[in-house]
Structures are given as structure tokens and as C-alpha cells.
Amino acid sequence: MDKIARVAEKFCFLDNIPLGMFVLEKDYVVLFWNRCLEEWTGIHRNKIVGTDITFHFPYLGKPKYSTRLQDIFKGGPPTIFSSQLHNYVIPSIMRNEIYRIQHTYVTPVQANKKKDFYALFAIQDVTDLTRRINDYRTMRDQALEEVKGRKRIEDELRKTHEELELRIKERTADLISLNEHLQEEIFERKRAEKKLVATKTYVESILANSLDLIITIKKDGNIVYTNRHLDYETGYKREDVQGKYIMELIPEHLKEFMLKKLKDLNEGISGIYETQIIKADGTPMDCLISQAPVEGFDEFIIAIKNITERKKMETELLKAQKLESVGILAGGIAHDFNNLLTAIFGNISLAKMYMMEREVYNHLVEIEKASLRAKNMTQQLLTFSKGGAQVKKITSLDELIRDSANFALRGSKVNCDIFISPELWHAEVDEGQISQVINNLIINAQQAMPDGGTIQVQADNVTLGSDNVLALKAGDYIKISVKDHGIGISEENIQKIFDPYFTTKPDGSGFGLSTAYSIVKGHDGHIKVESKPDIGTTLYIYIAASPKRFQLKQKDPAFIKGRGNILVMDDEEMVRFVTGKMLYQLGYEVEFVKNGDEAIKVYKQSKKTGKSFDAVIMDLTVPGGMGGKETINKLLKFDPGIKAVVASGYSNDPVMADYKKYGFSGVVCKPFTLSELGQILHKLFESKAD
Amino acid sequence: MQHWLFPPDSASKLVTVLTGEETGTPDIDSVRAGTLGEVGNIVLNGVMGSIGNILNQYISYSLPTYLEDSLENVLFIYNIVPPPNTLPLVRIRFMIQQLQIEGDIILIFEVGSFTVLLKLIETIK
């Protein structure tokens, strides 16, 4: 058996192994070629066994293989030809036209007892494994690439995210800052809005509570706004006038004037002026208007103050001023007239003394009576002038009422029924003034009944409680009523009858009831009226009763003569003359001076010469010179025991009412009669003697 | 017993250099393990061949196997050599600086084998 056959027999089992296996001799001759290699290479063992393998595969002869195979043939250690470094040892093309990848182990196999070795090649097909691994690698590398890409993307995303985060942070910071700014703005705006609302409320409150009527108008004069005061002042409802043309509220005669004011407003000119507006009831309302443009608006503000009352007061003040002027005039006239009457009275008294012829005497008596009435008239004038204090004394109103009523109705065709309570209380009054009140009321009642009739005068005692409707202090009062059955007073006029100058009579002065009102109020009393047209009028007077007892008047005594040296001071020559004559008739010696300076000088001289005056009669008022009030002050310093009598036509002067307070010992009102002068001096010297 | 030890990076770089494949991951799959086995086979044949030549002795040894683990596990857990009978003889550290590849070749002998080796060395003297 040859060598090839032996080797084939020896390695035949390798045909069944799924590895490519062949055996080489050291001269590279193939000794065995298994079935697997036949399939792989398509080379049948009959073709290759016994041939040099480099004939089939020349590269196997190269050192890359030969050097390593040399050791194998010497029995050296096995050798590996890895698939990755060699791809294949025996080329084998597969169906898919690619080479089979092979991992090859070469192991020495002892050939014989000699130290010869064959090389046994065992070739493992790792094509599929390699493909799988390559696929795996590709897949893995792709995965890694993807991972890298993803990581890169993630990095980019992270970077972008970080940038975004940064931008978001910056933007957030900006937004926070903006938000804070906005919050501040919102806060400021809210505060401003709150303040605006508060200001609006404040302004509305001011406007609403303003006592003035405030309106705003557009340029065309249409009313935009009115405050609540509108209704109160004018009677219009706010909704009635809003949108209305303001000229519709202006009286016809003032429209031209108001149009000019409206034009002023449109030219930006403010102003304050008086005008009138027509109220809802059609009556005019005097008003003071302050107008101005509203800054920032095409509107104008017009503040309207109702000055109707003020205008009325101004009118009343004007009347009062007129009245005061008339009063001053009346007082002056009364004073001068009293001086004249003093001369007339004095002369009549003296004439009566000398006149024995009865008829002439009677005429003188009548003249004296007329002069007495003239004196009463001057008293009324002085009362009207309201220039002085009342001269009050305890009085029986019974006699006063009767005398006054009868005097007023003397010669009239109107009758008077007088009902006086028998136990009528007394009162502390100025007789002249209360007499004048009664007189005025009777005259009014008489004039209310031009066709005649009966006036009812009544006087009663009444006691008022603290809750009386007359607003009088609680206490005892004398209630006097004067009732007529005349034409009555209309409701419209009844509130005005006590106003000065108010009269419904063509020739009336408007002083009668206003004077009565003034006098009664001056006595802390009350006067009121009740009247119905065509039925009649009743006037009531309440005068406080006095607990003091009334002393009956003593009858005038005859001329009371006396002795003494009298100094008479008066600026009026005729008064000095007649007074001197009267004093002479009364038994006194007289010297005259014109004013206070002369009086002081003469009085002091008389003291030095020892022929001092027992009394001084001084006129209270000396035009352009020192009057009685100032003179007595100076004389009292010189002679505290001086007896002085003040004489004046101003019978209601405070000095006359309270003469002792000013240093005088007596008072005599001009005009005075011989009898009155004698009584005053008698009284003066009586007290001196006391 | 001879061991050739590479850190994974160096083993991967070595395969890459030898095969010319593109640098990929340092994973050692079975194909690359095969490559390392061939390289190890060449190197060990060289080393052991040299020793055999010096000693003028035939040294029989098996084909290298590829193991991937820590050194401790490779030596002891895989029971390549039972610890009581082993003796590390040589540790050769090599470096291929240009390729930044480094590794160790460790020769481990059984106690009896080592005694024989010493005797053979003595014979040479």
C-alpha cells in the first residue's frame, strides 16, 4: 500500500467532519483532501491528492505561509491562520459569488517513526459568523453612530436647551422685570384710578353739597350737568334741564346780555355777573353767576348763587338807610321844632299871665292846646327816628289806651268800643311810645273802614307759659287787641305789613305799623295780625305786666315860684329869651350863656365873686360847641355839689332817660311850660334843702 | 503555561493595526479574538521555539485560547492553573510606543515543570 492510500485510510474519518481538512507533506504534496473541501472548491480529491498544492494555490508557497509551515513539518507547535488576517487559506467561492471566510488551524501529525510530520489543515467556515459579526458591527457602529448622532443631537439639543433655558431665563428675567414694571404701572394706575375716583367723589361731593347751583354747558350752550341743588333752587328736575339750551332759562329781557356772556365763554373769558333765571314756576330768580371754561374739556362751568334774598335785603337795607336818613331828619326837625315850641309855649304862658281879657285868654289857651298837639307830633317824630332810649315808667294802660284811642278818632265818623279789664295790670312802658302804637293801630283800623263802622279795642290780662307760640318769655302780659270790620289784608300782603315803607294806601307812608312793631319789640313784647279780606283785621299787642304799683299822677300845681340864681345855657337866642322871662316870672335871677365853654367860664367866675349859681339849666345839644353832657362833666370836677338840669328837644336821648347817671339833678323836655319849669326847679331846690 | 495579557484598548488597537480595519469600538468579538489568537500563536511559537532551541528540547504546548476578563479572574476563577501548584516565573512587559500598545507576557510553570526547567538550564552550563 502506498503512502497516499495509507494516509487516506488513516484520515478517512475526516470526510464526515463539517470542516475543510487536508494533509500536506513537507514537500507540499497533498496527501488527503476531504469531502467538505471537494464541495467547497469543486476540486475532487483525485485531482489534487498527490499534487503540489502550490500548483493549485501558488500563494501558499510564499514565506507568509511557508515559514510558519516549516515548524509544523518539524513537529512544532500548531499554527493559526485567522479569518481576519487571511480571509481564507483555500479559496472557495460560494453561490453568492463571495469567498468563503475561513479560520484555519494547522497541526503537526507524526508521519512515521522517523521525526517526519505532516501538516493537518482544519478549516472552519466562519463566513456566516463573520457576516453576522460584520452585520453586528455595522449595526453596532450604526447604532453607535446613531447614539453618537443622537448624543450629538442631544448635546445640540442640550446646548439649544441650555441656550433656550438661558434665553428663557433672560426672557423670564426680562418678563419678571417687565412684569414688575407692569405691576408697578398697574399699581400706580390703580392708585391713580383710586385717586381719580376719590377726587371724582370728592368733587361730586363738593358739587352735590354746594349751596350754589352748579351746571356745565357745552360750547353751544346746551346743559350737560347740574348738581342736586337745582331742584331745591329752581324746582326743575335734573333730567328736565339736561340737554336743554341754557337760554331757555333766561328771561327775555336778559337774553341779549346772556348771549354776550356765552360768547365771552367761547372766547375763554371768565366772569362774575348778576342776572336772573326763570324758575320752574315761572318766577325769576336773582342770581350771581361765576362762569369759566373747564380746563381740558370743551365745556364751561357756571356756578349760580341764588341772591334773591340778598337782593331783597339790599332793597330793605336801602329802605332802612332811607328810613334812617328820614329818622335823622325827623329828629333834627323835632329838636328844632321843640325849640320853637319852647319859645311858643313860654311866650303863651307869659302872655296868659299878663292877659286879663277873657276872650283873648281863651284864644291863648287854644293856641297852647294846639302847641301841645304839635309837641306830641314832635314826640312821634322822635320815636320814629328811633334815636334814643325809651323813658319807661309804671303806667296804667287803661287810661293810656282810652286817651290814645279817643285822641286818634277825634272828628272821625268811626266809633270805638273800648273794653278794658277792670283789674288790668300795670306795665312799665314809655307812655309816649305805647300811646303812639295805639294811635297808629286805631288810625289804620279807621282807614280800613272808609265808610265808617266800629272799632273794638280790648285789653285783658293773660299769663303765658314757657311753650307759648309767640316766642315770649313765660309770665304775665297785657293783651291789647284792636279789631276792625274793614277790607282786610290779602294773604300776599299780610307778611309785609310790618316792613318799613310797605303800604297799600295811595297817600300812606308805610311807617305806622313798622313804627308800632319797632316800639313793641323795644318793650320785649309781641305784635301779630289776623285778617281776612272783606271781613276785617285784628291786631294784637302783648306787653309785659309789671308787679310794681302805679302811682296816680298828681295834678299840676299852680306856678311854683322860687328864689335863686340860675345860669341858662342854650344856643338858641329865642329859647334863652323866653326861658329867662319864665324864670324871672317864677322869681329867679338869670344869666345866659350860649355854650359849654361860656358856661364853665361864667360858673367859675361866679364862684370867685361869691355870687354863685344855685342851678344851671343846660341844653343837651349845642351845634358847633360844647353841649350839656360834656359841660356837666367838667363842672362837676370844679363843683361836685352843682345842681344842673338838662333840657333838650331830643326827649328820647339816653341822657334824658337816665340823666342822673350823667351827673344832672333834673331833666326837662322841650318844649316846657312855665308850670313844668317851676316844678322842676322847686323839686331841685327841695332836694337841696333836704 | 504562558499568558499574553492585553488591556482591552491595546488588544483592540493591535487588531486594528494588523487588519487595517477602521477604528471602531474596542469590543473584541470572535473574529477579532481569532486574530488575537493567531498573533498570540505566532508570538508564543517564537518565544517557546527560542526556549526549545536554547534548551535543545522539544516543548509541546497547545493552541492559545482567548479569554476576556480581569487578570485575577483569568488566572484563578477560570482555573487555568490551580493556585497551590503555580509559580509565576517570567513577566515580560512590552510596549509598541508608536501604536501606544502595551501588554504583558507571563510564563507560569507548574512546580514540577519548573524543577525540570532548572535542571535543563543547569545542563546547558
Return the number of other C-beta atoms located less than 10 Å from residue A395's C-beta: 19
**Mean pLDDT calculated for residue range B66-78:** 72
Separation of CA A428 from chain center = 50
Return the C-alpha cell found at B39: 498573533
**Mean pLDDT calculated for residue range A21-41:** 93
Q: Does B62 touch chain A (CB under 8 A)?
A: yes
Q: Does A75 touch chain B (CB under 8 A)?
A: yes
> Does B25 contact A136 at a Cβ distance shorter than 8 Å?
no
pLDDT at position A285 over 50: yes
pLDDT at position A551 over 60: no
For residue B72, the enclosing domain spans 2-123
pLDDT at position A374 over 70: yes
* Single-letter amino acid code for the residue at A490: S
Q: Which residues of B touch A144 (CB under 8 A)?
A: 24-25
Taking Cα atoms as reference points, which of B122, B109, B118, B119 lies closest to residue B1? B109
* Percentage of residues of chain B with pLDDT beyond 90: 0
Runs of H (alpha helix) within A556-673? 573-586, 596-609, 628-638, 654-657
Of A85, A136, A137, the CB nearest to B18: A85
Q: What is the pLDDT of residue A459?
A: 95
CB pairs under 8 A between A and B: 68
* Residue with grid cell 499574553, as numbered in its chain: B4
Taking Cα atoms as reference points, which of A103, A141, A138 lies closest to residue B30? A103
Q: Does A78 touch chain B (CB under 8 A)?
A: yes
Residues 6+ apart with CB under 8 A from A203: none
**Mean pLDDT calculated for residue range A378-387:** 64
Q: Does B122 touch chain A (CB under 8 A)?
A: no
Q: What is the pLDDT of residue A507?
A: 61
The residue that leads in pLDDT, A434 or B47, is A434
Q: Which residues of B touch A130 (CB under 8 A)?
A: 31
pLDDT at position A689 over 50: no
Q: Does B30 touch chain A (CB under 8 A)?
A: yes
Residues 6+ apart with CB under 8 A from B96: B102
What 3-state class would DSSP assign to A490? coil
Taking Cα atoms as reference points, which of A80, A62, A63, A64 lies closest to residue A119? A80
Task: Answer yes or no: is the ipTM higher than 0.85.
Answer: no
Q: Which pLDDT tens digit goes with each residue over A1-30?
A: 588 888 888 889 999 889 999 999 989 999
pLDDT at position A680 over 60: yes
DSSP B86: E
> Does B25 contact A78 at a Cβ distance shorter than 8 Å?
no
Q: Which residues of B touch A129 (CB under 8 A)?
A: 30-31
Q: Which of A497-511, A569-583, B101-115 has the highest mean pLDDT?
A: A569-583
DSSP string, A492-538: HHHTTTTSTT--SSTT--S-HHHHHHHHHHHTT-EEEEEEETTTEEE
Weakest-pLDDT range from A194-198, A231-235, B49-53: B49-53
- pLDDT tier at A380 (50, 70, 90 boundaries)? low
Q: Which pLDDT tens digit goes with each residue over A315-344?
A: 767 766 766 676 677 777 777 777 888 888
Taking Cα atoms as reference points, which of A621, A614, A633 lies closest to residue A572? A621
> Does A137 contact B29 at a Cβ distance shorter than 8 Å?
yes
Total of domains in chain B:
1
> Does A140 contact B27 at a Cβ distance shorter than 8 Å?
yes
Which residues are bridge partners to A567 per DSSP? A591, A616
Return the number of other C-beta atoms located less than 10 Å from residue A56's C-beta: 15
**Mean pLDDT calculated for residue range A132-158:** 81
Q: Does B56 touch chain A (CB under 8 A)?
A: no
Q: Which pLDDT tens digit goes with each residue over A565-574?
A: 999 999 888 8
Q: What is the pLDDT of residue A690?
A: 43
- pLDDT tier at A242 (50, 70, 90 boundaries)? confident
pLDDT at position B83 over 60: no
